[in-house]
Chain A
Amino acid sequence: MNAPLRRAGVVILVLFGLLFANLNWVQAYKADAYRTSDHNGRVVVAQYDRPRGVIEVGGIGLAENKLTDDTLKYLRVYPKNEVYAPVVGYRPVSLGAVGIENAENDFLSGESDTLFADRVKDMFTGNNTGGGNVVLTLSTKAQEAAWKELTNNQRGVDKGAAVAIDPRTGAIQALVSMPSYNPNPLVNHDTKAAAAAYQKLLKDADQPLLNRATQETLPPGSTFKVIDSAAALSNGYREDTEIPAGSTYKESGAVIHNAEDEVCPDGTITLKEALTESCNTGYAKLGVKLGRETIVNMAKGFGFEDEKLTIGNLKENRGLPVAASRTGAIANQDGSVDKGALAQSSIGQRDVRMTPVQGALMAATVANGGKQMRPYLVQKQLGPDRRTIYNADPQVLRTPISGSVASSLSDMMVSVVENGTGKKAKIKGFTVGGKTGTAQNAVGADPHGWFIGFAYDDKGQPVSAVCVMLENVPGGHASAEAARIAGLIMKAAAGGGD
């Protein structure tokens, strides 16, 4: 009987060998994967054990922490509720994070390499000093004015967005999306309640979770004439160059009308007048004359078709993703230029689509002498002890037009606000320029109202560039309300500025 007993012993050895080998697989080979698994509650507990850095602006906390009695020690709190939500975002326990909370996660959580010394220090002192703090570029006055004016607009519009940029640096002064959402229920430590709150927002037909300023692309309407004008001025045209106009323009099956009969019914009109009055026929003919390549290239020069733009931290070029604005193909099926489509595209219709961020960037570029600054939201990164670790260093993103072209275009846009369709954007003590846009979209739907513009202070410094977009504005003159709001945002941005 001893031989089979010995073999039984060998079997036990083999079984234990298998256990040992499998333990190596689980505890050594797969250890890292398991340690960081989404299902591993320890990961979350450890993350919440250390106070997350504060997101702040002008000494006001936009994302802070509250000590709790839960297993998860710190609860994230957003004191400003929905106003800053499109920028700050939120960071829930088990869902994905968005906004600056997501883009700056490494720094806020303290896991960033730049905070390595703090972690080592913590290890020796036994303290948990927390993550780094992020200071945003926003102007609280501009942001809150934008939110207030947008949500209290005089046309009862419930969807829209506004973006304000400092043209000289690219610093975002305001970024608002309407309707917004309250991020606080989404970060509830009760993950079921958080998921329920998220599902409710997700099912809302008005899409409050959609960041309309960065992610929604809509036909820009006449604001696109700024691109046409830039193309014309860069190709030998001057402000007073007479261009063909008229009450209607038929081109390859497309028919272009003006918004009203009294707009440029004559045969010709100066370029400046055409922009001031927003002459559709003039710009449609101008676009066809300049050609598809010229218009499309100028649009690209201003940032159309850019699929990689993010607004956040200039150092690592990471932040809120911005959807690419598009000019569309403007082509027949064989690839040749569709002149009808070109005529329509030149006045921002057909397949042209633009984000509010892109609109604001265009105005900022003109105001800043042709230099487009890379937009950013993170002004400073502060360590847990509030020492400055990073301070934003503005960068030129593109230079689509020369200084003289920018100067002429600026004159033309100032004329729009002084004498033309953008009068509602005027603000006292500033020289304001801009361009309105009323964009037809679906058949039977009210048009979208746009305004892109900028303001110079009394020293001639461009203090703010802005884009306001209102979706489906009822009752005509869709852009007038956008212009009025834009003026108020720029006033707030300039007043509360540096």
Chain B
Amino acid sequence: MSRIPGMKTHRNAELGLLAFAMILVAIYAATVEANQFDTIHPTFWIPAALLLTLFVGLHFVVRFTAPYADPVLLPAVALINGLGVSFLRRLDIARAIATKKPIPGVFAGTSGRQLEWTLAALILAAVLLLIVRDHKVVSRYAYTLGLVGIVLVMLPAVLPSSLSEVNGAKLWIKLGSFSIQPGEFAKLALVSFFAYYLVRKREVLSLASRRFLGIDFPRGRDLGPVVTVWLLSLLVLVFEKDLGTALLYFGLFVVTLYVATERASWLIIGLLLFFGGVYTAYLLGAAVGGPFQNFYDRASIWLDPFAQANYNKAIGGSYQLVQGLLALGTGGLFGSGPGAGSPGLVPEVRTDFIFAGMGEEIGLFGLSALLVCYLLIVERGLRAALNVRDSFGKLVAGGLAFTLGLQVFVILGGITGLIPLTGQTTPFLSAGGSSLMANWLLIAMLLRISNAARGPANSGGHADRPGPGPKKAPTQLHGAPTEVFKP
């Protein structure tokens, strides 16, 4: 793919931002060592340098396959990913000190594993960028992806608990010491499927309607797919015992539906259905328990985490939520400084509660900066959706970006007591390969679409812009007429 001379790619800005991000990561690592050992070892910069090498590798793939891609996405994600690795290394160092073992090497422990996962995730992202040169190609496999997505969502639910349950949430597939969260990958497949489905159906969904109370409501028969996804997400809620995942899938669908049809009524229907379902599940949990019990427990913990009955309950109690809140509160405005806190007191601090563990050390200001980083990624994704000229690309980019934002909200809201806690990973930060790989694939997709959005009209194979010159037939989206948007 050739670059158009004179059109700015901002690739050097991306490289510069990447270097800056890794300098921040190196400073973080140095501070950790200063606080943990009272001295900074001359090797402190090695993980940051390794990460920089990996990210620069991806940067070159982007440079050659998606030259017009958004230059902020990659460095922002790299910063969060790098801080995650550094924080995990900080935990490994603390554990080694506590057990009087030698300081772990760069590739040892959870942080070493996370470094390896980062490498794997970046390779996957690079492969996606290399293979998928035009995001619309994905639409050809939409139905396959849809099926794969549903299978991935349902798999942990139908597997026996011994193979799929961790901390009361059935979100996993465990094979020996190796475990993956298929739901992380499912959101990518489902977004692609939804986008394709909605591009094809958007006329009928947006035009055929009945007017009620001043709002256009869809016809009964068109509600089918919405109800199907709603049921699917409630099944997830009940059988995988996880509100967050249910909220994620349902939010994902409702938002793409709303974006595709531009009709607020879908939002209203969706929200009513979701909160109605959640409230019913809460009442059922209170009344009959059974599969609804877990959700009821989570909700009552959320309502009063400091109640003795909730705090002292051995299973399904509020201990970890409370410890997370105490860690955040102890950190206060400025935090204790990287390496100077006691994140070991927070259960699951490597995965679900990593935000609370970091929050003790970097404080409100540090966490706010982290939030801004996430917001930047999401808003850049949405901007790619706004600027890309085909509706499939808009829906995919919009759906992915929104889902990422929603996931950050669900897990951070859960940890900080804003909403009931659910077992979600914090994107790019939590230890774990599934989350890291799936989210880097998501970023690769956003990079690909932003390349189409920011590039010249005929680069990246996006829908042609009508204009002077020989008229071409519009590029066909697989099996559907593609709309052409005037920018």
Contact = CB atoms under 8 A, between A and B. Distances in A.
Interface stretch (B234-242, B404-412, B440-448): B404-412
A4 B385 CA distance: 11
Nearest to A24: B364
A22 B325 CA distance: 11
Bin the interface of chain A by size.
20 to 34
Contacts of A35: 326, 329-330, 332
Interface stretch (A9-17, A53-61, A199-207): A9-17
Given A16-B374, A22-B413, A27-B364, A1 B332 contact: no
Contact of B332 (A9, A18, A31, A37): A31
A40 B405 CA distance: 31
A35 B360 CA distance: 10
A1 B402 contact: no
Interface in A1-53: 1-6, 8-9, 11-13, 15-16, 18-20, 22-24, 26-28, 30-35, 37, 39-42, 45
Contacts of B345: 41-42
A42 B336 CA distance: 12
Interface string B315-338: 000000011011011111100000
A352 B409 CA distance: 67
Nearest to A7: B258
B416 A39 contact: no
B409 A1 contact: no
Interface stretch (B40-48, B75-83, B130-138, B375-383): B375-383
Contacts of A2: 386, 394
A37 B409 contact: no
A41 B331 CA distance: 14
A417 to B, nearest CB: 56
A274 B347 CA distance: 74
A48 to B, nearest CB: 13
B391 A1 contact: yes
B237 to A, nearest CB: 20
Contacts, number: 127
A68 to B, nearest CB: 14
**Which of the listed residues A5, A9, A32 has the most CB atoms from chain B within 10 Å of its own CB?**
A5
A39 B323 contact: yes
A31 B329 CA distance: 4
Interface string B455-482: 0000000000000000000000000000
Given A16-B371, A28-B332, A42-B330, A23 B413 contact: no
A27 B331 contact: yes
Interface string A287-313: 000000000000000000000000000
Contacts of A26: 325, 328-329, 416-417
Nearest to B332: A31
B328 A39 contact: no
Nearest to A41: B345
Contacts of A13: 375
B432 interface: no
Given A1-B394, A9-B382, A26-B417, A15 B371 contact: no
A8 B382 contact: yes
B329 A30 contact: yes
8 contacts: A16-B405, A19-B416, A20-B371, A26-B417, A33-B329, A34-B326, A34-B328, A40-B329
Given A16-B375, A22-B418, A27-B331, 9 more contacts: A2-B386, A3-B262, A8-B398, A15-B406, A16-B409, A18-B418, A19-B409, A28-B364, A39-B323
